[in-house]
Amino acid sequence: NSATKAPPTPSPLRFSKYFQSNMRILVTGGAGFIGSHLVDRLMENEKNEVIVADNYFTGSKDNLKKWIGHPRFELIRHDVTEPLLVEVDQIYHLACPASPIFYKYNPVKTIKTNVIGTLNMLGLAKRVGARILLTSTSEVYGDPLVHPQDESYWGNVNPIGVRSCYDEGKRVAETLMFDYHRQHGIEIRIARIFNTYGPRMNIDDGRVVSNFIAQAIRNEPLTVQAPGTQTRSFCYVSDMVDGLIRLMEGENTGPINIGNPGEFTMMELAETVKELINPEVEIIVVENTPDDPRQRKPDITKAKELLGWEPKIKLRDGLPLMEEDFRRRLEVPREN
């Protein structure tokens, strides 16, 4: 009878807001190109709370405008070379200028960001027991003597060149990650990112894809830097974000290459942009900068085997998606 029945157990749903295990995620550099796309993807999961720490050197609030004011989102103006006290479960550590004109602008600051910034994020990870992912770069392979580059290749890097603040900086960042892992048991993940492109790239950052698209839209000559036979492999940003999340969620520390193995010469890239965006535009060959790697293509066997990841978007499909965003920002609508 009803008198002897145990009182009803409260519905777990009623109390869920006290018990629910939300994941708190810090994204450093989250106002930048890749970071803001990563934030978009993380915010789609209602169990995630996202904190972005960014000093807006190359990023902007505009990239995150749809999340500002959202209850699960927080944006902090913060320079990672200063200590940061927050309570989080995961850290995606992206903060660092990525394009040569920005990272060479203040090379000492670039190396501080890579070394002191990564040290601080590792100190934070250690204090709160968070898992931390570093976005390293294919530049750790320097001007590679092995092609394509797999993760076991140690690289061919000039320690005293104008790019060294970036590539040697990232190499030290990787070293710090592994030393904190071995010495303090921190859970680490290292992604070696290859050239990535897509909407929200800085228009005037001097990167080849953003240059060519902006030039094609403005009807200015596409500037292929000599000799034009140097190669790169370009990964669309949604594929990149998918790879980063799989790496974070998986069981492997890395380093793991994340990039698109489709390899193009810079002349081929110019011709593709011309064909897709502006068939009238001129292509010219201009002087190159020192230490420009002659070829680069990721070996992604490890990402395929360990993360079940490979890129889906082909260059010819990704470029038009970027064109739309660039036309809007440059205020040059397509003529029909």
Listed ranges 4-12, 92-100, 217-225, 295-303: which one lies at the site for ligand NAD (CB under 6 A): 92-100
223 binds, among ligand NAD, ligand UDP, none (CB under 5 to 8 A by kind): ligand UDP
Catalytic residue among 92, 103, 141, 166: 166
Q: Strand pairing of 196-197 and 73-77?
A: unpaired
Our finding on whether 196 is near ligand NAD (CB under 6 A) is yes
CA distance 2 to 154: 73
Closer Cβ to ligand NAD, 216 or 298, answer by number: 298
Closer Cβ to ligand NAD, 177 or 281, answer by number: 177
Our finding on whether 208 is near ligand UDP (CB under 6 A) is yes
Structure tokens at 169: 């900086």
Q: Any alpha helices (H) in the chain, and if so which ranges?
A: 12-19, 33-43, 100-103, 107-112, 118-128, 164-184, 208-218, 237-249, 266-277, 301-302, 315-330
Give the x/- contact pattern for ligand UDP in 56-95, rule: CB under 6 A.
---------------------------xxx----------
Our finding on whether 207 is near ligand UDP (CB under 6 A) is yes
Helices 315-330 + 208-218 axis angle, to 10: 60
DSSP states along 8-28 = PPPPHHHHHHHH--PEEEEEE
DSSP states along 79-107 = -TTS------SEEEE--S--SHHHHTTSH
Residue from 42, 43, 53, 124 binding ligand UDP (CB under 6 A): 124
> Is residue 18 annotated as a catalytic residue, yes or no?
no
Closer Cβ to ligand UDP, 127 or 314, answer by number: 127
Question: In the complex, what is the shortest distance from the CB of residue 126 to ligand NAD, in angstroms, rounded to a whole number?
Answer: 19
Q: Strand pairing of 263-265 and 231-233?
A: antiparallel
Site of interaction with ligand NAD (CB under 6 A)? 28-29, 31-35, 54-59, 79-81, 94-98, 113, 117, 135, 137, 193, 195-196
